[in-house]
Structure 1
Amino acid sequence: MSTTTLTQVGTPVEMPSAPPRRSVVGDTLIVLTRELRPTLHDPFSVVFSLIQPIFFLALFGPLLAGNLGGGLSDGEVWQWFVPAILVMISLFGSTTVGSNLLFEMQTGAHERMLVTPLARSSLLVGRALKEIVTLVAQAVVIVLVMLPFGFRLHPGGALLGLVLLAILGVGISAVSYALALAVRNQDWMFWVVQQTVLFPLMILSGMLLPLDGGPGWMRALARANPLSYVVEAERALFAGDLTAAPVLWGFVAAALTAAVGLAVGIRSMRRGD
């Protein structure tokens, strides 16, 4: 016994609709919004994270006034030191991207993100941009606090300085992301590597103290440190000297750091899938 299936002639057959086209920019905005949501719910966390930089300003500032030369005014000392503090904030924030990723791995949130149709690169860049947004908010607070002490703000240079820090931050965040993926089974190694690399980079960048009087080997290492070029560029930009040679070299160093960092980070993500 057989059955016959009748179909109505002329009835259109519905074809499965194609999935909506996605863009890396849109996916990055989704990740950025997700990462910013906890900060928006608790904005005071951004202010509390400024305690350490403010301690550096309060304790290193008076020392620098003597070490940079007795002829310098307080305002000139702050023109030298405040941009370096902003680089420090960017550096600390960018390197914590990996630690946040490790926490999400432990809670299973990262695995849930991986099964979404979001582009893999957006997971990395979105997290990095979250730190840049936080940096901008912190930079505004730092500048407003230091204006009464003689710090002079040049808006054009300050905006370019934040762009420079954003480029650098994306590269460092990507390296931090890759490190977290590499040590996911030994998360304590993340902090060992971070602290081992972070503080020598800071000292050899001339961020806290000038290196002009240091030994030759230290000055040679400083010249090989891309962070030192960014610090010099930030000082020139915040002083309003937009055409200074250090500005060009700072952007070159930041762009190379971003390119290498993204290449390493995206490759690590693909291997980790």
Structure 2
Amino acid sequence: MSTVTVDGPARTVTPVRRSWFSDVGLVMSRELRPVVREPFSVVFGLIQPLVFLGLFGPLLAGSVGAAGGFSGAEVWQWFVPAILVMTTLFGTSTTGSNLQFEMQTGAHERLLVTPLSRSSQLVGRSLKEIVPLVAQAVIVVLVMLPFGFRADPVGAVLGLAMLAVLGVGLGSLSYALAIAVRKQEWMFWVVQQTVLFPLLILSGMLLPLETGPQWMKVASAFDPLRWVVEAERALFAGDLTSGAVAAGWLAAVLTAVVGLAVGVRTLLRSTD
């Protein structure tokens, strides 16, 4: 049996140039595939905000609304934007549990050996959570319109963009926590729950902070969610140039920067 050898000039393989944004898109599309195949998770995520609106909302309208002289529609203008922030908080702060599952199956390690940048992996994973959250937010707004809630179109778009920025930071911190406690997975939920509820209460999402004690008012000033909640209320009301909106953007951007910095550093250390 003879072999034929074909001589010719050696071909050089040119590496494919990818941008950081394309890496983010690849990771995001990878993470979204299970959601597209099983959209029930998006519907299931609506249970919590709708329960708060259906059960806690009327109590809020009856107590805070009567005491403050607010009409039912004005109470919804105050409460619905806060519910959207709460949905973002609960949705993105639990994303680390998905990473824990991938670490168990080895999918996380296989992703790490790809040429994708570490920051793009974190941002792509976090943005994946924003897509169903935006869909849920739109549904919540549409459901509340017949009850008197009004959303400024431009303010609503800006509000959802702010929630996306905030979600990137919260999601990155959640992933960093999952990596840090990967040898003790139960610690993820201990830390997550311990941090989540103080942030939730001090943000003024559920009840006005004006009636709280002085120490709580001081502590709330250090809660970034408080500024985002106030900004969302202003944006949905159409007050696009208020100081609350600027403070909300600052809080959301700082959360994203800190989250990405902590997340990337934790990810790099875990692979050393």
User: Structure 2 residue aligned with 1:270, among 265, 268, 272?
Assistant: 268
Task: Give 1:185-200 correspondences, 5 Å limit.
Answer: 185-200=183-198
Percent identical among aligned pairs is: 67
**1:242 corresponds to 2:240:** yes
Take 2:41 and 2:224, find their aligned partners in 1: how far apart are those partners?
A: 30
Greater Rg over alpha carbons, structure: 1
| Aligned-partner residue type, residue 53 of structure 2 | L
Count of residue correspondences: 265
Give the gaps of 5 or more residues in structure 2: none
The partner residue of 1:157 within 155, 158, 172 is 155
1:178 to 2:201 alignment: no
Residues 126-166 of structure 1: CA deviation (Å, up to 9, x unaligned): 11001111111001110111111111121100000001101
Deviations 1:47-85 (A, max 9, x none): 111111111111111111133232311111111000000
Residue 25 of structure 1 is matched in structure 2 by 21
Q: How does 1:5-84 map to 2 (within 5 A)?
A: 13-70=9-66, 71-84=69-82
| Partner secondary structure for residue 64 of structure 1 | helix
Q: Is the 8 A contact 2:65 2:71 kept in 1?
A: no
Q: Distance in 2 between matches of 1:116 and 1:83?
A: 39
Show the counterpart of 1:145: 143
Counterpart code for 1:65: A
* Counterpart residue type for residue 39 of structure 1: V
SS of the residue corresponding to residue 211 of structure 2 reads coil
Amino acid at match of 1:160: L
Q: 2:109 aligns with which of 88, 108, 111?
A: 111
- CA shift, 1:231, in A, is 0.3
Match of 1:230 among 228, 231, 236: 228
TM-score between the two structures when normalised by the length of structure 2: 0.94
Aligned to 1:3: none
Are the equivalent residues in 1 in contact too, given 2:165–2:256 (CA < 8 A)?
A: yes
**What is residue 134 of structure 1 aligned with on the other side?**
132
* Alignment TM-score, normalising by the size of structure 1: 0.94
Q: Displacement, 1:99? A: 0.9
Q: Which residue of 2 aligns with 1:4?
A: none
Unmatched 5+ stretches in structure 1: 1-6
Listed one character per residue, the Cα deviations across residues 150-204 of structure 1 (whole Å, up to 9, x for unaligned) are 1112110000000110111111111111111100000100000000000000000
Q: CA RMSD in A?
A: 1.4
Q: CA deviation at 1:224?
A: 1.1
CA distance in 1, matches of 2:181, 2:124: 21
Distance 1:139 1:166 in 2: 11
Task: Please state whether the residue corresponding to 2:17 is helix, strand or coil.
Answer: coil
Give the superposition deviation at 1:21: 1.6
User: How far off is 1:12 after superposition?
Assistant: 5.4
Q: For the residues of structure 2 that align with 1:68 and 1:189, how far apart are their CA atoms?
A: 37
